[in-house]
Amino acid sequence: MAVIDADPRFDAKAARAIARTTKKSEADAQKRLTSRGATIAAIIIAIIWTIPTFGLFVTSFRPGADSSSTGWWTVFANPGFTLSNYYDALTSGGTALTLGASFLNSLAIAIPATAIPIAIATLAAYAFAWIPFKGRGILFVFVFALQIVPIQMALVPLLSLFSRGLSINGLGIFPGFTLRDVDHSFATVWIAHAIFAMPLAIFLLHNFISEIPSELVEAARVDGAGHGQIFFRIIIPLSTPAIASFAIFQFIWVWNDLLVATIFAPSTSLPLTQTLNSLSGSWGDKWYLQSAGAFISIIVPLIVFFSLQRFFVRGLLAGATKG
C-alpha cells in the first residue's frame, strides 16, 4: 500500500515514542469525544438490523396457531412457548430428505466447494501478481469482467456438458459423467461452484497478493527460492487473512446457495436451503416450521465466522514490512 511508504520512518518513530507516554490520556480524550454519539448510533443500527431476525427467532418458539393469527411481539403480553417446531422441522423434512440429512449434505457440498476454488484462484492470482508476461493486464481485466456472466446463463450449457458430455459430429471426446445411481454424488456441484467463484476469487486475492512488498519476494529470490517456494513460504502465510476472509464468504455463499444446487445436485444430495424451500412449498403458510428450519441453517455460517474471525486482526502484512 502506498500509504505505508509515504510515512517517513523518523516521524513514525518519534510519534511512537511520544505516543507511548501520552497514550493513555490520549485514548481517554478520544473516547470521550467520539464515543457517546457514535455508540448510540451504532446501537440503533444494531437494533434495527436485529429486529427482523429476532422476530423470526421468537416465532420459531411460538405455537403455530398463535403465530399465524397474532404478531410475534404480542408474545411479551401473553407468553406461550414450545420446542415442537424444531422437533417437527428436523424430523419430517421434505419429500426425499429430512432436514438433518440435508444438513450433512450442505456440509459435504460447502467445505470442498470452498477449499478447491480458493486453492486454484490463489495459484492464478500469484501468476497475475508476480510472474510478468505479455498481455497480463488485459487478461486480468478480462477475468475480472467475467464476474458479470450471470450464473443463470451458464447453468444450461454446463449441465448439458456434465450429463451428455462433449461430442463433435458424433465423435465423443468426453462422454459426460454417469453418476445417476450413485448414492451421494456432489462432484458436479463442487465443479460448478468452483467455476462460478473463480473470477471474484482471483480478483480479490490478486488485490491482496500484489500488495505484498516486492522486497520480500526479491529477497527470497536472491536466496535461491523458485516460484514454488515463494508461493508456499511467503505468499501463503502473508495472505492468510485475505484467504481466510474470502473463505468465510465463499463458504457462506455456497452454504446459502439455492440455484446451483437445485440444478446440479441429484435428489439425495440436496442441501439445506433446498429442503427449507420445499418445506415452504409443502407446508404452505406454516411459517413457524420454516422459522425453526431457518434457524438451524444459520448456525453453521455463524460458527465459521466466529472461528475464522481472529484472522481479521490488525496487520500481519504491516508487521512484515516494518520488522
Partner 1 sequence: MTGILTAGPIVKKQLPRRTTGVIVAVAAVLIAALLVFMITRNPNNSALPTSLGFSLNSFFSWIGGLTPLLQIPIVVAVFAVVVGVILLLVEFAPRPGRGYFWLRVAACFVIPVIAAMLLRPYQNAVLYVVAIALLAGAILFFADYRARAGTGYIFQLITFLAPASILILVGLIYPALSTIFQSFFDKTGKQFVGLGNYVWVFTNPDGFWSVINTLIWAALAPTISIVLGLAYAVFIDKARGEKFLKVMVFMPVAISFVGAGIIFKFVYDYRQGQQIGLLNAVITAFGGQPVGWLDAQPFINTLCLLAVFIWTQTGFAMVFLSAAIKAVPTEQNEAASLDGASSWQLFRNVTVPGIRSSLIVVLTTITIASLKVYDIVAVLTGGRSNSTVVAFEMVNQQQRFQSYGHSAALALVLFLFVTPLIVYNVRQMRKQKEIR
The footprint of partner 1 on this chain (CB under 8 A) covers a number of residues equal to 149
Residue of 89, 260, 261, 317 interacting with partner 1 (CB under 8 A)? 317
Which of these ranges, 52-60, 81-89, 91-99, lies near partner 1 under the rule CB under 8 A?
A: 52-60
Residue of 90, 111, 220, 320 interacting with partner 1 (CB under 8 A)? 111
Pick between residue 149 and residue 219 the one whose CB is nearest to partner 1.
Answer: 149
Which of these ranges, 80-88, 90-98, 222-230, lies near partner 1 under the rule CB under 8 A?
A: 222-230
Matching residue, cell 462460478: 196
Does residue 98 belong to the site contacting partner 1 (CB under 8 A)?
no
Burial 218-255 (b: 16+ CB within 10 A, else e): eebbeeebeeeebbeebbeebbebbbbbbbbbbbbbbb
Does residue 260 belong to the site contacting partner 1 (CB under 8 A)?
no
Does residue 41 belong to the site contacting partner 1 (CB under 8 A)?
yes
Does residue 100 belong to the site contacting partner 1 (CB under 8 A)?
no
Site for partner 1 in 7-26 (CB under 8 A): 7, 11-12, 15-16, 18-19, 22-23, 26
Does residue 126 belong to the site contacting partner 1 (CB under 8 A)?
yes
Does residue 70 belong to the site contacting partner 1 (CB under 8 A)?
yes
Pick between residue 61 and residue 72 the one whose CB is nearest to partner 1.
Answer: 72
Residue of 227, 240, 262, 320 interacting with partner 1 (CB under 8 A)? 227
Site for partner 1 in 142-201 (CB under 8 A): 143-154, 156-158, 161, 167-175, 177-179, 182-187, 190-192, 194-196, 198-200
Min dist CB 150 to partner 1, Å, is: 6
Does residue 61 belong to the site contacting partner 1 (CB under 8 A)?
no
Does residue 207 belong to the site contacting partner 1 (CB under 8 A)?
yes
Best CA proximity match to 291, nearest among 39, 57, 4: 57
Min dist CB 133 to partner 1, Å, is: 6
* C-beta neighbour count of 85 within 10 angstroms: 25
Best CA proximity match to 103, nearest among 260, 271, 280: 271
Which of these ranges, 75-83, 92-100, 275-283, lies near partner 1 under the rule CB under 8 A?
A: 275-283
Does residue 119 belong to the site contacting partner 1 (CB under 8 A)?
yes
Q: What ranges in the chain are assigned the alpha helix state H?
A: 2-6, 9-60, 64-67, 84-92, 99-130, 136-145, 151-164, 187-209, 214-222, 227-230, 236-238, 240-256, 259-264, 272-283, 287-308, 316-322
Distance CA 80, CA 72 (A): 11
Which of these ranges, 63-71, 75-83, 84-92, lies near partner 1 under the rule CB under 8 A?
A: 63-71
Does residue 307 belong to the site contacting partner 1 (CB under 8 A)?
no
Burial 46-71 (b: 16+ CB within 10 A, else e): eeeeeeeeebbbbbbbbebebbeeee
- DSSP classification of residue 147: G
Contacts of 302-305 with C-beta under 8 Å, sequence gap 24+, read 304/248, 304/251, 304/252, 305/248, 305/252
Distance CA 108, CA 266 (A): 14
Does residue 315 belong to the site contacting partner 1 (CB under 8 A)?
yes
The angle subtended at Cα 105 by Cα 101 and Cα 110, nearest 5°, is: 150
Q: Report the DSSP beta bridge partners of residue 166.
A: 174
